Chain A
């Protein structure tokens, strides 16, 4: 019997029981839709987290002072300053896998221009800071290494601060003189607006040379942290080791002594986070795969009922000349058609869900071809595997008994 006729016979019997066919497909529909939608959600989470981490800087290593321990009470990282500004210069000079280094000296203070003023986080940094943090400038320039060395009174404003300070004026911020903690500074640049990376708004920061910050505001040779950009993602661990040995040498630490600093490696965090989100995706897909399996069992159940219900029809077909293979093919095609139709409907729903997830999380279209192929492939396998038993049962029916079945 030609395959076209087999398919026609199978589709006809599916169409004859519309409600039942849809209910049978429901398991597969939900399974496929959830595989596709959930993998898209997992993907969105991965991309989102990765973007956030990468926004912190390029191949970033952050070095903080260790926690202080006073009378058995251990304080937070950085509570006992150990990192000197000279450490920054030594790392830049000695460690080959380091592309850029910046000190970070933080303080808070009021900035004033004319009638406007605002509270700001004042960050003392090195010239490389803009490169390490991928900062782009809306206007002007970042300060240069000579300015850092000299401790020049120059400032780069965050976008929000710039807007607040120069609100209501037509003055070009570049070249204007503002007051930072009552000291005069010349504005040389305005940063482009950045996305928030956590609990702080980087647009409220202002950047000045680290030396200036130490001289004018903190009055200490220590810096809060050192930011390092490794030459490539591959050498981040090497760079971390180089920095560790450089700092241990500079801090005169013996082999048995613990380091008085901590290095936060972005790569490690990324790996950890991406393994978490990957696990999440796998768990979600596993749950979805189980629902596909359940859908397959639903198909088998209905096919078995259908075989019993159509015993007489099978008897007629066999009496009239249908071979075993033809009966088997008819029921197999039927269960395959049910699961493929279910997969297709699930695909449309899942893709819609994914598009919605992509739209809501601003990460674009996330329908993964892998998830589509996997779920459609899996459901056709389910359709065949769970169709074989009912189809065999139908094909093996005794013709005489089947003809007499009431």
Chain B
């Protein structure tokens, strides 16, 4: 069983005003199915760049990155879009919901781009909203929902297409501590159901709830407790655990 995320010697350089700036300098890591990982580090450490690369929103300058066995660097922009649609569910700090669309329509969006029929879109979106506890708020627009509720909508949107990875960028950054706790609980539940979750955060409280923390500093991995504690195979969910995760994943996609 291969890792879900395999990064090897990833370098990402930006050219700003003629100067080359190295945001990531030789990053290698593996993340396996069913993990709950927090990527942490101060601003400028390269964690956002890593998140963009993992999310297939950006391409590395050098190095290889495989997501679910696919070499991302070889995909065109349109193929990347399709890949994101199928493989990744995004959760953003500022929710990034479409302001004029209802909760239900927001959750339907990934299914719309996946070319799924209207009826099935609706069923699956309703199911996803029920899972995050918003079964009674489907017709509300984002501005009629609280921050926590909006983040739940965005989580429903992230899981609706049954992605291999849920990628969250500071998902609690705009929430109070009580709501933060609720949202983290939701992530824990999703993880318990077999979803792989990667959260980029600078909040130590969030990091503490994750099962593995990867710390970045100056464009490199400073510490990785998953790697340190027990080596790769421990987190790979191999054997029966893997089977459970797969089974549940299928349940999620009717």
A joins B in a complex: yes
Q: Which residues of A contact B (CB under 8 A)?
A: 1-2, 5, 9, 12-13, 16, 312-313, 315-326, 399-400, 403
Footprint of A on B, CB under 8 Å? Answer: 52, 55, 57-58, 77-78, 81-82, 84-86, 90, 92, 96-100, 109-110, 112-115, 118, 157
Contact across chains for B55 and A322 when beta carbons are under 8 A apart: no
Residues of B within 8 A of A400 (CB): 52, 57-58
Contact across chains for A316 and B98 when beta carbons are under 8 A apart: yes
Instruction: List, in ascending order, chain A residues with CB within 8 A of B100's CB.
Output: 12-13, 16
The contact of B78 among A9, A313, A320, A324, by CB within 8 Å, is A324
* Chain A positions within 8 Å of B118 at CB level: 5
A320 and B84 contacting across the interface, CB-CB below 8 Å = yes
Q: Which residues of B contact A313 (CB under 8 A)?
A: 98-99
List of A residues within 8 angstroms of B90 by Cβ:
319-320
Shortest CB distance A214–B (Å): 90
Nearest-neighbor residue (CB-CB) of A326 within chain B: B113
Name 14 interchain pairs, CB-CB below 8 A, sorted by A.
A1-B113, A5-B112, A312-B96, A316-B97, A317-B113, A318-B81, A320-B84, A320-B113, A321-B110, A321-B113, A323-B77, A323-B113, A324-B78, A324-B81
- A interface secondary structure, majority: helix
Query: Which residues of chain B have C-beta atoms less than 8 A from A312's C-beta?
Result: 96
Is A323 touching B78 in the complex (CB atoms < 8 A)? yes
A293 to B118, CA, bound (A): 38
- B57→A399 contact, CB < 8 A: yes
Please give, as numbers and ranges, the residues of chain B lying within 8 Å of A403 by CB-CB distance. Answer: 57, 92, 96
Q: Considering the chains assembled together, what is the distance between the CA atoms of A1 and B55 in angstroms?
A: 22
Given A316-B96, A319-B55, A319-B84, CB of A324 within 8 Å of CB of B77: yes
- With both beta carbons as reference points, the residue of chain B lying nearest to A327 in the complex is identified as B81
- Chain A contacts of B85 at CB under 8 A? 320-321
The interface residues of chain A lying within 8 Å CB-to-CB of B98 are 313, 316
Q: How far is the CB of A401 from chain B (nearest CB, A)?
A: 10
**From B95, which residue of chain A is reached at the shortest CB distance?**
A316
- Contact (Cβ within 8 A) B81 A1: no
Contact A323 B112 (CB under 8 A): no
Contacts of B157 in A (CB 8 A): 320
Once the chains are docked, how many angstroms separate the CA of A196 from the CA of B118? 69
